[in-house]
Amino acid sequence: MQIESLDIENLDVCLNKALNVVENYMRNISTDPVVPNIQREELNNLIYKDIPFEGIGVENVIEDVKNTIVPYCSKIGNPKFLSWIITSPSPAGTIGEILNVGLNQVPFCYKSGPTATVIEDIVLDWLQTLFGYNDKSGGILVSGGTMGTLTALSVAREAHIPGTMEKGLQNIKKPLVIYVSNISHKSVETAASVLGIGSNFVRKIPVDSNFRMDFKELEKQVEKDISLGLYPFCVVAQAGTSNEGAVDDIDTIANFCNKNNIWLHIDAAFAGGAILTERGKKLMKGIEKADSISTDPHKWFFIPVEAGCVLIKNKEHLYNTYKTSNKAFNADDPVEYMNYGIQFTRASRAFKIWFAFRSYGLNKIQQIIDKNMDLAEEFARKITTSDKWQLVTPVQTSAVCFRYIPNSNYSDEELNKLQNKIVYELELSGKAFLAPAIIKDKTVIRACFSNHRTSYEDLNFVFKCLSDIAEKFN
C-alpha cells in the first residue's frame, strides 16, 4: 500500500480560509469583549479533545477554530487591554510571523536556515546598536525575559568561574551571590536555582521611594557578603520592574560593578523599547556599560510572542559558555547559533522583528512608545486630581499603580478586597481589562499602557468605567 504525503491539494483554499480567520480576529479586536467570560471547565467541554486517530480535513478544522477557539481568546490587542506588559502585536509583526512559520527556517546552523541566520545577525546588530554596544558584542534571540536572564547569568557564571559548564560547581570554594532589588522579577531566582547557585544566594536589596534599588544598601550587602567569605559575582538591575515600571540607577550601579569586578546584567524585558525615546535614554543612562542586557521585542516593540533577546557586551563570553565540539555542523562559519545559547532546534524569531521594523521604521515605533508614556502620565494625573483615587507609584515608564479609597473608615484588609472587586467587575463587564498587583503588602490596581492602539478616548473610557464600578461599592 502506497502511503501518501501530508500535502494538501486545495492548499490555496485552506490558506485563504485560515488567513480570513486571522484577519477577522484582528479587524474586530477593538470591539470584541476584552477577555472572555467563560470558565475553564466549560471551555474544556467546548474544545475537541479526543485523540484524533482519523482526520476530518483542514477546512473542517478551520471551521471548528472559528466557532470554538476564536470567540474565547483574550483580545490582547484590544486598546483597553491594560493589564500585564503583554504585547499588542503590530499587524506587520503578525504578517511577518505568518510568513516565518510558512518558511520554517531553523537557525541553529547556517545550512539549516541561511536566511534566518543572516536575519538574526542583522536584528542583533540593530538591537546592539540601540543599546550602545559595539561590534565586539553578541547575542541570541530567545523565548523571552526568563530565558534571557538564565542565559545571561550562565554566561556571567562562566566568565567569573571558567570551566563551570564542564566541571559544575563542585570545586567552587566560595558560594556565588547575585544581587537584585526586592521587587525584581522571579526569573532571577529561577535562574539561580537552575544554575546551581541557589535562590537563597539571591540577595534582595530594598528599594527607595522611587522603587529603585537602594544603592547604599547594595554597597553594604556586598561588603557584608565579602566579609562572610562569599563571592559577589553578579548584580541584576531593572529597566522596568514588572509592577511599578521602575528603572534602577543603572549608571551608578554600573560604575560600582566595574570597580568591584562584578558582572552587571540589565533586565530590560519590560521597558527595553523605551530606549528609542529621549525619556527612555535618560532613564537608562549607562546601560551600555552593562556586561549583558535582556530585552523582549514581544513587549514594547510590538512583536508577536515569542521574541526575547539577550545581548552580551563581549561575545567571546557567550561563545565560551555554549560552544559545541560537534564536527557534523559548519564549524567554519563565523556565527553558528548552536554555539551561542541553550537551544539547538529553535524557531527563527528574528524574521518577524526584521519584517516589522522595516515595515514601520523605528521612528514610528518610537512615536507609539512616547504616546504610551504620555498616556500613563495623563492617567496618573486623572488619579491624582480625583478625591477618591490614590496614586501609589510614581510613573517612570508606562505602568500606573493606584487604589480606590472612598473614605477613611475602611481597614487595610477591606481596601485590599475592594481593589480586587473593582478589577473583577471590570473584567466581567468585558469593557476593559486591568490587573491587581501587590505593592508594599497592599493590593493596588495596575494599568500598563503598552498597547499601540490605545488612545486618549480609551483612557477616559477606562477611567469612567473604573469610577462607575467603584461608586457601586462605595
Per-residue pLDDT tens for 391-416? 999 999 999 999 999 988 889 999 99
pLDDT in the model for residue 333: 57
Compute the distance between CA of residue 123 and CA of residue 456 in angstroms, rounded to an integer.
32
* 245, 399 Cβ separation under 8 angstroms: yes
| pLDDT(326) > 90 | no
Please report the sign of the dihedral spanned by the C-alpha atoms of residue 94, residue 99, residue 102, residue 107. Answer: negative
Per-residue pLDDT tens for 414-464? 999 999 999 999 999 999 999 999 999 999 999 999 999 999 999 999 999
Averaged confidence pLDDT in the chain: 94
Given pLDDT bands bounded at 50, 70 and 90, which one contains residue 325? low
Q: Locate CATH 3.90.1150.170 in the chain.
A: 362-473
Nearest CA to 195 out of 210, 211, 177, 212 is that of: 177
- Report the predicted TM-score, pTM, of the whole model to 2 decimal places: 0.95
**What's the fold here for domain 362-473?**
Aspartate Aminotransferase, domain 1 (3.90.1150)
CB neighbours of residue 401 within 10 Å:
26
Per-residue pLDDT tens for 125-169? 999 999 999 999 999 999 999 999 999 999 999 999 999 999 888
pLDDT in the model for residue 327: 57
Compute the distance between CA of residue 103 and CA of residue 106 in angstroms, rounded to an integer.
9
pLDDT in the model for residue 408: 81
407-424 exposure pattern, b = at least 16 Cβ within 10 A, e = fewer: eeeeeeeebbebbebbbe
**What's the fold here for domain 11-76?**
dopa decarboxylase, N-terminal domain (1.20.1340)
Given pLDDT bands bounded at 50, 70 and 90, which one contains residue 109? confident
Q: Locate CATH 3.40.640.10 in the chain.
A: 97-360
Arithmetic mean of pLDDT, 302-312: 97
pLDDT in the model for residue 172: 85
* 348, 101 Cβ separation under 8 angstroms: no
Compute the distance between CA of residue 32 and CA of residue 257 in angstroms, rounded to an integer.
49
**Three-class DSSP category at 444:** strand
**Angle ∠(394,303,11) on CA atoms, nearest 5:** 155
Quick one: cell of 349?
A: 524569531
| pLDDT(329) > 70 | no
Given pLDDT bands bounded at 50, 70 and 90, which one contains residue 195? very high
DSSP E strand stretches across 349-441 = 389-391, 399-404, 435-439
**What's the fold here for domain 97-360?**
Aspartate Aminotransferase; domain 2 (3.40.640)
Measured between its terminal Cα atoms, the distance across the chain in Å is 74
**Three-class DSSP category at 256:** helix
| pLDDT(66) > 70 | yes
| pLDDT(113) > 80 | yes
Per-residue pLDDT tens for 289-299? 999 999 999 99
| pLDDT(328) > 70 | no
Given pLDDT bands bounded at 50, 70 and 90, which one contains residue 171? confident
Lowest mean pLDDT among 27-41, 227-241, 376-390: 27-41
DSSP 159-226: HHSTTHHHHTTTT-SS-EEEEEETTS-THHHHHHHHTTS-GGGEEEE-B-TTS-B-HHHHHHHHHHHH
pLDDT in the model for residue 435: 93
